[in-house]
Each structure stands twice: as C-alpha cells, then as structure tokens.
Amino acid sequence: MQGLDFSVVVPYWDLLVTGAWWTSVLTVSAGALSFVFGILFAVVVLYAPAVLAYPVRAFMWVFMGTPLLLQLFLIYFGLVQIGIDIPALAAGIIGLGLHFAVYNADIIRAGIVAVDTGQTEGARSIGFGKWQALRYVVIPQAIRNTAPPIGGNLIALLKESSIVSVIGIAELVHSAQLAISETFRPFEFYITAAALYYILNLVLEAALHRFERHVEVSR
Amino acid sequence: MSRVFPFFVEAALVTLELTVLALVLGLAAAALAAAAKMSRSAILRTIGTAYVSLFRGTPCLIQLFVLYFGGPQIGINLEPFAAGVIGLGLNIGAYMAESIRGAVMAVDRGQTEAARTIGFSRFQTLRKVVLPQAARLMIRPLGVNTVALLKGSALVSTISVVELTYTAQRFIGSTYKPFEIFGVAALLYMIMVYAIARIVDMLDKRFAIV
C-alpha cells in the first residue's frame, strides 16, 4: 500500500484534457446521430409499410435487450468478418449513436402518439399534406414535449461513451489508462478522470436545463 | 457452436448471479440513501445527496476501475467478482435511490397529514401508510433499473470477471466467428432481459389497485 499522491496527475494534465475533449466530441456526434435516427426510427415504426417497420422494430428490440459493450464489439470486430472494416472512432460513434437512437425512438414514438389528433386534422384541413402535417406540426410538438427524457439520454450517453475505450478510441478513460501504464497510479488517475466526467456532466446538465427553459418560454 | 454452448450457459448464469447479488446490494444502498436524503438531519441529507450525485454523475466503468485497479492503493484488495458485485451494486443503488424517493414523494401529502392527525408517529406513518402505497409505484422504475443493471453487468468483463461478454470475447479469439458468438451471447442476454421484464409486469399486476 503506497500513499496517495495526486501531484502525479500534473504532468499528464494535457493528456487528460485532450481525452475529455474527445469524450465531448464523441458525445456530441453520437448524440446528434441518436437524435436524427431516433426520429427516423419512430416515424418508420409508426407510419412505414410493414416490410420496413418490422425490421426496424426487430432492430430496436435487439438493441434494447443487449449490452452496449456487446453491440460495440459486434460493430467493430464482427463487421470485419464480412469485409466491413470501420475505423474505431467511427465504430464508436455509430455504436453509441444507434444504441441511444433506439431509446430516443421509443420516447419520440410515444411523443408523436400523444400529440392531439386535432393537430393533424387542423393541419390537414388548412391544406397540409400528410407528410407536411407530420413534418411541420406533429413532430416539432412531439420533440418539444419529449425534450427532458431525450436530454436524459444524452447525459447517459456522455457516461456510456467511456465504454468505447475498450475498442481503443483515445477518449478520457483511454487517456487515463495511458498515464497509468507509465505511472502505475490507477487510483489517482481514475479519480481525476471521474472528476472530469462529473464536470462534463454538470456542464451538459446546465446546458440542457437552459435549453428546456428556452423551449418552455417559446411555447 | 454446440461444443461451446455449455460454456455460454454457464457464463450466462454468472451474469445472472452478478445481477442478483448487485441488485440486493443496490436495493440496500438505495433504501439507505433515499432515507438519508429525506431525513431531518442535514448531515445525513448531505451524505445521501453526495452518494447519489457522485455515482450518477460519473461512468460506471470508471467506478469499477477505481475500485478494482485503484483499490489496492488504499488497502482494498478485491477479487474481480467481488469488485464487480460491489461496483455494480453501488452504481445501480444511486439510481434506485431516486426511484424509491420519487415513489415516496409521489404519495399524496394528505395521506401523511391524515395519519399524523389521527395520532400516528412519523415512523408509523411511513411504515403503515406511506411505504405500502409507495411500494406499488416503485415496481416499474426499479424494474427498469434492474434491466439496466443486467445489461450494465457486461462492463465487468473489463475487470476480467468471466461472465457472458468476457466468454464471448474469449471464444472469438479462438474461433474467429464474431457474428455467431456475439449472436449467441446477445440471445442469452435478451432471454434474461425479457424474463426480468415479465417478472416486473407480473409484480406490477399483482400489486395494482383495481
């Protein structure tokens, strides 16, 4: 048992901050992907013909029932077997993005169903097409109403992004591991990494809170 | 595939064992934390709030790493399995604390006031009036957390606990058939996830007020 000494972190501070930066990049890009695909999946499940809706529903079912870690392994190591070689960073963004897209889709689907049918009827009666009503009237309201749980998923995504370190993406955990391999000080570096995650988490929560208030005011 | 299948069933049982043990620990931690957060003592409230906030605010993976790799530096030497149970349990406990607190707060205040008016003590009110009503409201959120715990248990493969995901990784190394291997592991996870979902549905129906 050696004494704890957090000063070992100082020479590696830049490395950790770079890792935190890449964690943010991963979170924002996978978050954007999960939002866009969340809407897409929700619309497909609700309105597309069965040939399209059923495979998407099955895909959602499988992604909800299995661990993210397994999904990442499948995308990164499995697809190589059938000749699809994706770089680690892309595999990480796609894996995280699709994983959370499925959860977002579930929320947005419920949000679309909950928008009053009178809204669609109103839009149709003033001459909107079916798709226009969906695109300009129903979906914006559904997303506004489901903003808090979608924001919750983004916060979960930030934390779950730590998992992509296992496929070798140089984010925060990976930076900490690199420093530990040179210093043999896991406690100090993992605690520091945890603190950085906590700060990122607070920043994201504050940003989401502001955004939600903005949405509330514009109502 | 048929040759490796028994290993997978055994590994799935380890995953289940991890989940059940972490669930027991998590529920205990959650009950304590929820009670602390709602207590009249400012110190207890601070401790409860700090636990929930720190464990919810950082990744579960990091918590496992601090415990398993960092633990020996502060005199905590744990086997991978024990570190996995404790790490997963403390992590899910923070989430479950909020589920429990949410359910207790959702019970109408009038219930407490009425019980106090007819002479129930604070503890009696909680025990006989609030908790029985809150228990029903907890079933679903705690069930969701349990499913998350089961899926999250895959993380302990990174601290070399030989569970389902670890076993899948090992067999990919020796068979070079990632799709088949991951397919079997995914199927086993899904069976367990949907079994838990069914149990939660049953409990929810059983305790529903008709």
Q: Is residue B69 scored above 90 in pLDDT? A: yes
Rounded to whole angstroms, how far apart are CA atoms A123 and A136? Answer: 9
CB contact under 8 A, A197 and B62: yes
Name every chain A residue with its beta carbon within 8 A of the beta carbon of B188. none
CB contact under 8 A, B178 and A160: no
The domain that holds B83 is classified in CATH as: 1.10.3720.10
The pLDDT of residue B175: 79
CB contact under 8 A, B155 and A78: no
Cα four-point dihedral sign A196, A201, A204, A209: negative
Rounded to whole angstroms, how far apart are CA atoms A70 and B178? Answer: 11
Q: Where are the beta strands (DSSP E) in chain A?
A: none
B104-134 pLDDT, tens digit per residue, is 999 988 898 999 999 998 888 988 899 989 9
* Residue B167 contacts residue B6 (beta carbons within 8 Å): no
The SS3 assignment for B210 reads: coil
Model confidence at B6, pLDDT cuts 50, 70, 90, reads: confident
CB contact under 8 A, A66 and B57: no
Three-class SS of A3-53:
CCCHHHHHHHHHHHHHHHHHHHHHHHHHHHHHHHHHHHHHHHHHHCCHHHH
Q: Is residue A1 scored above 70 in pLDDT? A: no
B141-195 pLDDT, tens digit per residue, is 999 999 999 999 999 999 999 999 999 988 887 877 888 888 899 999 999 999 9
CB contact under 8 A, B66 and A4: no
Rounded to whole angstroms, how far apart are CA atoms A120 and B28? Answer: 48
Mean pLDDT of A188-216: 93
Q: Which residues contact B197 (CB under 8 A, 6 or more apart)?
A: B143, B147
Of B65, B73, B190, the CB nearest to A4: B73
Burial letters A105-130, b for 16+ CB under 10 A, else e: bbbbbebbeebeeeebeebeeeebee
Model confidence at A33, pLDDT cuts 50, 70, 90, reads: very high
Rounded to whole angstroms, how far apart are CA atoms A19 and B7? Answer: 37
- Chain A CA closest to residue B180: A78
CB contact under 8 A, A186 and B70: yes
- Chain A CA closest to residue B71: A187
Model confidence at A117, pLDDT cuts 50, 70, 90, reads: confident
Q: Which helix (H) or strand (E) holds A199?
A: helix A186-217
In chain B, the number of structural domains is 1
A81 alpha-carbon distance from chain centroid: 26
A135-151 pLDDT, tens digit per residue, is 999 999 999 889 999 99
How high does pLDDT run on average in chain A? 92
Name every chain A residue with its beta carbon within 8 A of the beta carbon of B179. 74, 78, 81-82
Mean pLDDT of A45-53: 93
B103 alpha-carbon distance from chain centroid: 17
Mean pLDDT of A64-68: 94
For B173, how many CA atoms within 13 A lie in the half-sphere containing its CB?
6
Burial letters A156-188, b for 16+ CB under 10 A, else e: bbbbbbbbbbbbebbbbbbbbbbbbeeeebbbb
The pLDDT of residue A212: 85
The pLDDT of residue B15: 97
The pLDDT of residue B210: 58
Helices (H) and strands (E) in chain A, counts: 11, 0
Counted residue by residue, chain A has a size of: 219
Mean pLDDT of B200-207: 90
Q: How far apart are the first and last CA of chain A?
A: 59
| Domains, in order of start, for chain A | 6-217 (1.10.3720.10)
ipTM of the complex: 0.91
A74-89 pLDDT, tens digit per residue, is 899 888 878 888 999 9
Domain that holds residue B202: 5-206
CB contact under 8 A, B58 and A78: no
> Is some CB atom of chain B closer than 8 A to the CB atom of A67?
yes
Q: Choose from B61, B95, B157 for mutation: most chain A CBs within 10 A.
A: B61
CB contact under 8 A, B70 and A187: yes
Model confidence at A217, pLDDT cuts 50, 70, 90, reads: low
Q: At what angle do helices B80-106 and B42-57 cross, to 10 degrees?
A: 120
* Residue A23 contacts residue A158 (beta carbons within 8 Å): yes
Of B59, B155, B178, the CB nearest to A69: B155
Of B57, B177, B193, the CB nearest to A65: B193
| CA distances in angstroms from B147 to A122, B3, B120, B151, listed in the order given | 41, 29, 37, 6
Least confident of A111-115, A177-181, B176-180: B176-180
Q: How far apart are the first and last CA of chain B?
A: 48
> Is some CB atom of chain B closer than 8 A to the CB atom of A80?
yes
The pLDDT of residue B85: 98
